Structure 1
Amino acid sequence: MKKSIIWKIVLIIAVLGISLWQLSFTWRYYSLEREQRYSPENMILRKKAIHLGLDLEGGSHFLLVVDTTGKGGPEMVHQVVEILQSRVDKYGISEPVIEVQGNNYVVVELPGEMDPSIARKLIGTTAVLEFRVVKNITRLRDVISEIDQEFNGRFSALLKTFPGGSMIVCEADDWKYLDSLVMEARERGIADSASGSVLLWTREMDGEDYGISNYRELLLVSAIPEIPGGAISSAQAGLGTSNNPSEPRVDMEIGGSARSDWARITSENVGERIAIVMDNEIYSAPSVEGPILNGRSTITLGKGTLEDAKALASVLQAGRMPARADIEESFVVGPSLGADSVKGGVRSMLIAGAVILLFMLIYYRASGIVADIALVLNMVFLLAILSGFNLTLTLPGMAGLVLVIGAGVDANVLIFERIREELDQNKTPKKAVDLGFSKAFVTILDANITTLLAALILWWFGTGPIRGFAVTLSVGLVVNMFTAIFVSRVFFDSILAKPNTEKLSI
């Protein structure tokens, strides 16, 4: 056997070995239970495995509409995408899809994120991030009394006080009505900006510990923000405080010239609370335990979760949105639905592959074995590339895999039929193989380039699932050229390298 053939065989074996090694990460990752896949110790394994799209893995989908009527126009849409990407990346969601659709729409897909409330915290906070000083409870009670005088006690009738009189809250079901009274009172000059203080509600929180449903706390805060959110240089979630090793926290640092302002504010308000306000909603209101002179602060979340801490850190570090972005459409794809899609896609691929392998074996006899091996290697190499380059496999992408199988068969059929034609003209097996591959090459190249151009157009102008199909098809066509032209030829050359080979089973 010639040395050139030996080196080609070694090259194929090396590529196959690397591909199987790369696919081993995918096998190990998807052998884990779903709960284990998202644990921190398996994040490296997750990054090396084939990424599944929202339709296969499950997750949250949102369609945002961006208000482009203000200064900046359509360019603000791309700024919104950048900030959303920053927030989601900091939260640790793998392979999110965040892209512009049309003139003022943004599609957000978060694979694996089944809690829509967490997703809404990340992408629904669209206003300027601000820090405001919380006024003491006595002043808050005075404002409530003023509102009660305007509305004959209807306001305080739905408020509750706990624990020990330090918090004034309302149940979630009563919030809309009470907030409408607050807005009306503001219009009448009670607790408006001119007075130096405004009433704001916290986000909705779990009230199980207080024996009520979800609730919102009412706070009186300074009308003018003390520090803008853009002053935050870093924010990181973690676990463990001086009082509780398992309590969630956020380590935050104020940078630049705002550091001295932060030192002054915390020095003047020891024992008071600082409200973190977004879109006129208080996200958190931690207490100031002492002056913070170096700009480094720790926000403890009490009975909150680590996920709450991550969401808060993401919003703190990402800063502000350049324009309002409202959630127009949202839905969650459950893990069972995604698993069913994977099973259905794999089943269709196996059935299509088995039928094609059997047909090639029956119709082309021994040469059909060569075609079958090339097709199997085609799939192995393709999946390894998807894994190695962190490409996402979607349900339409699985349809692209089936189409790639068909394209691979088409290439082999063209080559084999050309070889048959040469054999019918009494050419020797070696000469027939040389001419068969040579004549079929141009046709195969033209067909693949044409299809590849169509796939690139789909990728360029398409979104979401269409792009998934285009990516799989494009990579598959390139791999198909390698297996059909190079790998198959090496197998034929190896067979014909035997002396006195006078017949070819094809």
Structure 2
Amino acid sequence: MQNKGLIKLFAILFGLVSLYQLSFTWFTNGVEDKAKMYAEARSNDGREMADLERVYLDSVANQPIIDLGFAKFSYNDIKDKELNLGLDLKGGINAILQVSVKDILIGLSNESKNPTFNEALAKATEAQKKSDDTFLNLFFNEFEKLSNGEVKLSDPSIFGNKSLREKINFNLTDEEVMPIIENEVTGSVNTAFEVLRSRIDKFGVTQPNIQRIGKSGRILIELPGAKDIDRVKKLLQSTAELQFWEVYSNQETANFFFQANSVIENLLKNEADKKETAADKEDNLDDLLGEVSDSLATKQVNNLFTVLTPSVPQSQNQVSSVIATAKLADTAKVNSYLAMREVRALLSNDMKYAKFLWDSKSFTAKTNTGENTELIYLYGIKSNREDVAPIEGDVIEDASQEYGQTGKPEVSMTMNATGTRQWAKMTTENVGKFVAVVLDDYVHTAPSVNVAITTGRTSISGGSMTVSEAQDIANVLKAGKLPAAAHIIQSEVVGPSLGQKAIDSSMSSFALALLLVLLWMIFYYGKAGAFADIALLVNLLFIFGILTAFGAVLTLPGIAGIILTIGMSVDANVIIFERIKEELNKGKGLKASINHGFSFKGALSAIIDANITTMLTGIILYVFGTGPVKGFAYTLMVGIVTSLFTAIFITRLLIDWYAAKGKLFTFNTSMTKNLFANIDVEFLKKRKIAYIISGAVIILGVASLVTNGLNYGVDFVGGRTYVVKFENPTSASDVANTLKDAFGSAPEVKTYGEASQLKITTKYKIEEEGNHIDDEVQDLLFKGLTSYLPEGLTMDEFKPGFDGDKKAGIMSSIKVEPTIADDIKTAAGWAILGSLLVVFLYILFRFRKWQYSLGAVLAVFHDVLIVLSLFSIFYKILPFDMEIGQSFIAAILTVVGYSLNDTVVIFDRIREFAGIHTSWKFSTVVDKALSSTLGRTINTSLTTLVVLLAIFLFGGDSIKGFMFALIVGVVVGTYSSLFIASPLMYDAINKLDKKKK
């Protein structure tokens, strides 16, 4: 092997870089473990512990964790560089947002005051509470009922306005206007989707999942690893409506507040007197019920200053933009007081359009009694009749988080030319006064203008603004404004879908299986096996190093890709070792045998062909696939590259190093020396039996697919999801088994937030519509969970919407449509078909006969059909869930990759034998080639199966179905390479030869 020095240098550098990249994960885990210990030492409450963890991590966010002398890394730095885990392995935040179609319609109508329009909106809003239909359809139905043909949607006061005049005119009928409005609404929801996706991409979590749910205006969002639910809510629900306003000083508002206090005091006193008089007329029973005490309590809150402290400057130095302070809990009451007609009448002509806005953040301070309480500042905004700000967010060209002159985080904004002119004018006119930067009706800063700002740059700052808050504000400003409000209708911090215990057991079983593979290689190949083990471990180091370096995400499908990679890595070494052994058995010297084994005439041709076909599959799947398909493909492609390098170069370096010492090197042990030696199996004579067996299984499978179907997961067919609260921590697996009898099959059950809260998703009667079906499912759920619920809990208390103190029952309920849209499933299907077509063409190019391509592709179809057939036949029999969902896609792809790899290696041997033994019959060539590769085939299959079986037997229950699919796929893939692919290829060639004769 030439250039050994260069290869050694590259391998060492690559290994060091991989270790360097993975070290960030090590240090990140160390910091987060300390955060957990910090939280556990101070609280036993789950939610409070999460808050304490966040406090600890925020406190060390910018402190050096790694100091290399020439470079320092804080927690935030290393967190960005750690190995990313997907939601199915790490947990995170799952939220469903409802984009307000009502707000979109109001916007399209230019905030119409038409009574028919607004009544239809109100009735549609009410109807939606009891209907699964879309808001838009409900609105159209209500409008049709109310209008009676007298008012049209195209009316200038509704949708026939200036903004839509190019699309809607007064002559259009309602039937003609409806699809136009539907398109406009769809466009607005799509815009909201893109804005939210842009924000999420900048949020800092890895591989977020965002999907539209049908045409409902709902958007599903999954953020792996995210825990700060409040931060996520702010990020997702913020409409990003940025405004710049002039503000009143506390000097200008002081007199108003004193007048308002007096008026409010009189109003409240009169109201309290009326209540007391009315209470005196009631009988003693009312007194016992507390009506009198209520009126007395009302009298205690007797003026504005009870809930608001005005800021009254005693000197010019105390003039400020903060006009008052209130307790955070009292803001709603203050708003109601300041909105009173009698109070608004006190505003002077200069202030008649004033509006009052709160600060974006509260702060903690001690009261007169020494207790800590949350306070918040109030500002007075100089609004106008139209309530339109002088400068709005559309003038912002860029925004970024930076550090101000005091070293504290702030948001720096750059304006376009128009904004620069407007900002210069506003700041020039307000030198010595105050201006406010308002985002979504909250004041983020209201500084004094010292000099005019003509550069078009400004900033949002605050004394307690954190780095993450500054980053989020910058992100939403860059991503743009939502076309309508988006409300989170369901959100929780979710645990991993496998459960932490299942993940731990799966990782332990994976480590055990890997150890068994390493020991088997040593047992079978001796010292050469030990060198192959080193190459395999280096391969895994390279894979995880690359995944970490490029910010890729490791998911359950990705693990499937790594398992396939391990099989291919072992396979490459096995092929090389078997070729070296063949040469040694022929009497050649060790060095010549090693050179031949690693040459293109030896094992290299088969290895490269097998890896290229699998790589082509990965490329097509990555380009056309989505979600789990893309994750699988990426990991697979990385694994192929690293496997080739380690098998061909790392193993060769080690073997050459040992061979150079002149010691005995046999590539086997005393126990395995004669294993698979002199095997001569007539495979082709058994092909008819194989055809009959495969045909019978496929026929049974197709019959089962037609009659029994498949156990499609919620990913494909949707389902009803309930978040159920229990009094005590409850086992998800126990509840799933209990509900299996009620629903006919076990629902998907996950711990949802706290250990005493579960998310239960069932596909029971999902195809049927109607409220009575919903009631039936809730009734079955209630009866199924009776043993876990408190005694005496009624069905009404169990149902969602119960107004009392809910100790247990349904906290939220939603009917979900498929989370994998039709276009995703279609893309996955085309990706698989496209990959098979490319593989067909490549094999045709390499082997020069289309029969080889036909045999390989038909064998893959055979393997997929067998797996599907077995899942259809046994999903009601076997004691674990065999759902067809996103994980199953990854399993099928693994089967395709493994089968192709195995088949191509065998085909390469057949081609080699056909070139060497030209006098043999082709049937003999095929049989001899299959027999000669049998040792390699069994070795590779066994090592892969050991990994899969260990995870299947000792891993989590929730992934048994996934592992079962992989096990079946490996067994069937090995079988088909020997008894389906090669015989089909032989029959096609033999039939063509007979026609020629």
Per the normalisation by structure 1, the TM-score is 0.73
Deviation at 1:178, TM superposition (A): 6.1
Identity %: 27
Change (3 A) 1:434 1:87: closer
> Do 1:77 and 1:106's aligned partners in 2 also have CA atoms closer than 8 Å?
no
1:478 maps to which of 641, 645, 664: 641
> Do 1:392 and 1:468's aligned partners in 2 also have CA atoms closer than 8 Å?
yes
| Structure 2 alignment gaps of length 5 or more | 32-56, 65-71, 102-183, 273-300, 314-321, 674-997
Change (3 A) 1:81 1:13: farther
1:137 maps to which of 233, 253, 256: 253
Aligned partners of 1:138 and 1:445: how far apart in 2?
83
Q: 1:72-471 counterparts in 2 under 5 A?
A: 72-73=187-188, 75-77=190-192, 79-81=194-196, 83-84=198-199, 88=203, 93=204, 96-98=206-208, 100-102=210-212, 105=219, 107=221, 109=223, 111=225, 114-135=227-248, 136-137=252-253, 141=257, 156=304, 159-164=307-312, 167-175=323-331, 196-203=353-360, 205-209=362-366, 213-221=373-381, 222=383, 223-239=387-403, 241=405, 245=406, 249-270=410-431, 272-279=433-440, 281-294=441-454, 295-316=456-477, 318-332=479-493, 347-394=508-555, 397-398=558-559, 400-417=561-578, 430=592, 434=596, 438=602, 441-442=605-606, 445-446=609-610, 449-450=613-614, 453=617, 457=621, 460-463=624-627, 467-471=630-634
Deviations 1:356-380 (A, max 9, x none): 1111101222331232132122113
Mapped pair 1:31 → 2:147: no
Aligned partners of 1:183 and 1:470: how far apart in 2?
59
More strand by share: 1
Secondary structure in 1 aligned to 2:515? Answer: helix
Deviation at 1:504, TM superposition (A): 4.7
> Do 2:327 and 2:373's aligned partners in 1 also have CA atoms closer than 8 Å?
yes
Deviation at 1:161, TM superposition (A): 1.4
Structure scoring higher RCO (CA < 8 A, sep ≥ 6) equals 1
Deviation at 1:195, TM superposition (A): 6.2
> Do 2:437 and 2:460's aligned partners in 1 also have CA atoms closer than 8 Å?
no
Aligned partners of 1:21 and 1:235: how far apart in 2?
37
Secondary structure in 1 aligned to 2:223? Answer: strand
1:10 counterpart residue number? 5
Aligned partners of 2:571 and 2:340: how far apart in 1?
72
Deviations 1:300-335 (A, max 9, x none): 423544554444444455542345433344444799
Deviations 1:205-237 (A, max 9, x none): 234355664455554431221101122345454
Aligned partners of 2:526 and 2:492: how far apart in 1?
51
Secondary structure in 1 aligned to 2:417? Answer: coil
Secondary structure in 2 aligned to 1:109? Answer: strand
> Do 2:240 and 2:480's aligned partners in 1 also have CA atoms closer than 8 Å?
no
Deviations 1:55-93 (A, max 9, x none): 5777655554556863734641563146415754xxxx4
Paired letter, 1:478: V
Aligned partners of 2:345 and 2:636: how far apart in 1?
64
Deviations 1:4-32 (A, max 9, x none): x142x334312311212212423543336
Aligned partners of 1:441 and 1:37: how far apart in 2?
52
Mapped pair 1:51 → 2:167: no
> Do 1:53 and 1:395's aligned partners in 2 also have CA atoms closer than 8 Å?
no
Per the normalisation by structure 2, the TM-score is 0.41
Aligned partners of 2:208 and 2:264: how far apart in 1?
44
Change (3 A) 1:283 1:438: farther
Deviation at 1:389, TM superposition (A): 3.0
> Do 2:362 and 2:376's aligned partners in 1 also have CA atoms closer than 8 Å?
yes
> Do 1:129 and 1:319's aligned partners in 2 also have CA atoms closer than 8 Å?
no
Deviations 1:417-461 (A, max 9, x none): 566677778887756984797468547744773487268637854
Change (3 A) 1:190 1:352: farther
Secondary structure in 2 aligned to 1:126? Answer: coil
Change (3 A) 1:431 1:299: closer
Aligned partners of 2:191 and 2:331: how far apart in 1?
32
Return 220-229 or 254-263, whichever deviates more: 254-263
Paired letter, 2:247: V
1:20 counterpart residue number? 15
Change (3 A) 1:61 1:119: same
Secondary structure in 2 aligned to 1:361? Answer: helix
Which of these two proteins has the greater Rg computed from alpha carbons? 2
> Do 1:235 and 1:250's aligned partners in 2 also have CA atoms closer than 8 Å?
yes
Secondary structure in 1 aligned to 2:423? Answer: helix
Change (3 A) 1:330 1:501: same
The number of residues matched between the two structures is: 486
Deviations 1:165-197 (A, max 9, x none): 8544554444456657878979x9999xx9644
> Do 1:196 and 1:224's aligned partners in 2 also have CA atoms closer than 8 Å?
no
Aligned partners of 1:162 and 1:190: how far apart in 2?
16
> Do 1:247 and 1:302's aligned partners in 2 also have CA atoms closer than 8 Å?
yes
> Do 2:518 and 2:533's aligned partners in 1 also have CA atoms closer than 8 Å?
yes
Secondary structure in 1 aligned to 2:526? Answer: helix
Secondary structure in 2 aligned to 1:390? Answer: coil
Aligned partners of 1:502 and 1:251: how far apart in 2?
68
Paired letter, 2:513: A
Change (3 A) 1:237 1:447: closer
Change (3 A) 1:314 1:392: same
Paired letter, 1:390: G
Secondary structure in 2 aligned to 1:481? Answer: helix
Aligned partners of 2:664 and 2:434: how far apart in 1?
89
> Do 2:423 and 2:453's aligned partners in 1 also have CA atoms closer than 8 Å?
yes
Change (3 A) 1:472 1:65: farther
Change (3 A) 1:185 1:439: farther
Deviation at 1:349, TM superposition (A): 4.5
| Structure 1 alignment gaps of length 5 or more | none
Return 416-425 or 476-485, whichever deviates more: 416-425
Secondary structure in 2 aligned to 1:482? Answer: helix
Paired letter, 2:546: I
Aligned partners of 1:46 and 1:234: how far apart in 2?
27
Aligned partners of 1:228 and 1:284: how far apart in 2?
14
Paired letter, 2:242: L
Secondary structure in 1 aligned to 2:442? Answer: strand
Paired letter, 1:226: P
> Do 2:18 and 2:546's aligned partners in 1 also have CA atoms closer than 8 Å?
no
Secondary structure in 1 aligned to 2:187? Answer: coil
